[in-house]
Chains A and B, each alone.
Chain A
């Protein structure tokens, strides 16, 4: 067991985890997931939000088993390696809204950092703007971290609290499998409570079991290796350390090769799957997300893996993202292939102001 632990802590350990994501994300796309969206934590949580009726954008509603797998895979790894530690209480309401605005930013860009990498690996040039925005957002976060920003200490919690979020995931799995329907409108449209897209990206998905198993593996590997797309850039800026970055490069290179092999690589800016070409808001959306992730201490994937370890603060961040997705679509803040949504830009600016105010005000003395 300790040999496995030390391998995962090495550079090759994290590169393997990244490569696993880079190999299987394009395959998930081949097996049914939407374009350059083999894995996208933000998009997939947005689809879950829609499936639960928190928004009614009929084309993006599906309970994505990958997300369920991420949390449960991390839980299995944490329990096996004795790292399951229920904890919480480090500025929960702040973390909720960091998750909320991280999602707003991600839906202005149309993807989380994971999808930004996968979009780039698929040839989508707009992802370059997103990754540049992400880097600038994280850099601003690092300036705050260096000058004393923090969200305070978490406390050890009782065992059961760590099981709540994983149980929510099991409930989601059951809701996906049974998809309860309470009735239909006079026009024949289902009234929920579970909504599953009949067309559009939400209707495109790999078979449930495949999605779930790959999600479980990613969750397991990422929990062991601490894979984090935000941390990768942050650590380079903050401490000149490239450990996490090598995992991210593993994703990018493996996905690029896989896309070439599968004939999914298409270079250009125009007509890319589920993407728009508004350079400014591709950049600004990810800048907001990057800053929010940096202030919360992890990318959206990492927040799910930490939730599986029993970290209640990370679970609240993830919940904030799911709720944020509901608001993003209900309030016309999410982008579409046509460009930024009507209220996306103003929402992104409000989010940036919120994060900057936090950066200046959340400064508990910790040492």
Chain B
């Protein structure tokens, strides 16, 4: 079961804080972040790249599901 963060409706910078916490907690692996704004999507993608994690973005209805991966 992949860890999931629901960051929908959270204002800046909460989605980034939650994602950063998870990145530090896991070190490597895979998890998903659910966001509902373009800004959060960009911010999390930027954070992931900065931390050496890969990002795949999937559109789910009106939201975005970001899959973060690090081998």
Residues of A within 8 A of B (CB): 9, 81, 83, 85, 87, 90, 145-146, 150-151, 153-156, 226, 231, 234-235, 238-241, 243, 297-298, 313, 366-367
Query: Given A83, A146, A231, A243, which contacts B37 in the complex, CB threshold below 8 Å?
Result: A83
A297 touches B47 (CB 8 A): no
B38: nearest residue on chain A (CB-CB)?
Answer: A83
B17 touches A145 (CB 8 A): yes
Give A206 to B38 CA distance when docked, in angstroms: 34
The digit string for B28-71, where 1 denotes a CB below 8 A from any CB of A, is 00000000111100110011001000000000001000000000
**Complex A-B: 6 CB contacts under 8 Å:** A150-B11, A153-B10, A154-B11, A238-B17, A297-B11, A298-B12
Q: Which of B6, B17, B46 has the most CB of A within 10 A?
A: B17
For B16, the chain A residues whose CB sits under 8 A away are: 238-239
A153 touches B46 (CB 8 A): no
Supposing A83-B37, A146-B17 touch, asked if A243 and B11 sit within 8 A by C-beta, the answer is no
Minimum distance in angstroms from A290 CB to a CB of chain B: 15
Supposing A146-B17, A239-B47, A241-B47 touch, asked if A366 and B38 sit within 8 A by C-beta, the answer is no
A297 touches B9 (CB 8 A): no
B10 touches A366 (CB 8 A): yes
A153 touches B37 (CB 8 A): no
B13 touches A9 (CB 8 A): no
The digit string for B12-33, where 1 denotes a CB below 8 A from any CB of A, is 1110111010000000000000
- Chain B interface size band reads 20 to 34
B16: nearest residue on chain A (CB-CB)?
Answer: A239
A238 touches B13 (CB 8 A): yes
A297 touches B42 (CB 8 A): no
Give A154 to B11 CA distance when docked, in angstroms: 8
Residues of B within 8 A of A (CB): 5-14, 16-18, 20, 36-39, 42-43, 46-47, 50, 62
For B39, the chain A residues whose CB sits under 8 A away are: 226
Query: Given B8, B17, B42, which contacts A9 in the complex, CB threshold below 8 Å?
Result: B42
Supposing A9-B42, A83-B37, A226-B42 touch, asked if A153 and B9 sit within 8 A by C-beta, the answer is yes
Give A150 to B14 CA distance when docked, in angstroms: 7
Give A6 to B31 CA distance when docked, in angstroms: 24
Minimum distance in angstroms from A226 CB to a CB of chain B: 5
Given A83-B38, A150-B14, A156-B36, 15 other A-B residues pairs in contact with their CB atoms under 8 A: A9-B42, A90-B11, A150-B11, A151-B11, A154-B10, A154-B11, A155-B9, A238-B17, A239-B16, A239-B47, A241-B47, A241-B50, A297-B13, A298-B12, A366-B10
Minimum distance in angstroms from B64 CB to a CB of chain A: 12
Shortest Cβ-Cβ A-B pairs, 3 listed: A153-B9, A297-B11, A154-B9
A297 touches B12 (CB 8 A): yes
Give A81 to B41 CA distance when docked, in angstroms: 15
Query: Given B8, B11, B36, which contacts A313 in the complex, CB threshold below 8 Å?
Result: B11
Query: Given A81, A87, A231, A235, which contacts B9 in the complex, CB threshold below 8 Å?
Result: A87
For B13, the chain A residues whose CB sits under 8 A away are: 145, 231, 234-235, 238-239, 297
B38 touches A90 (CB 8 A): no
B4: nearest residue on chain A (CB-CB)?
Answer: A367
For A234, the chain B residues whose CB sits under 8 A away are: 13
Minimum distance in angstroms from A151 CB to a CB of chain B: 7
For A155, the chain B residues whose CB sits under 8 A away are: 9
Minimum distance in angstroms from A21 CB to a CB of chain B: 19
Give A366 to B36 CA distance when docked, in angstroms: 15
Give A241 to B43 CA distance when docked, in angstroms: 10
For B9, the chain A residues whose CB sits under 8 A away are: 87, 90, 153-156
For B8, the chain A residues whose CB sits under 8 A away are: 153
Minimum distance in angstroms from A134 CB to a CB of chain B: 17
Give A153 to B17 CA distance when docked, in angstroms: 14
Supposing A83-B38, A85-B36, A239-B47 touch, asked if A367 and B12 sit within 8 A by C-beta, the answer is no
For A145, the chain B residues whose CB sits under 8 A away are: 13-14, 17
A241: nearest residue on chain B (CB-CB)?
Answer: B50
Give A239 to B62 CA distance when docked, in angstroms: 28
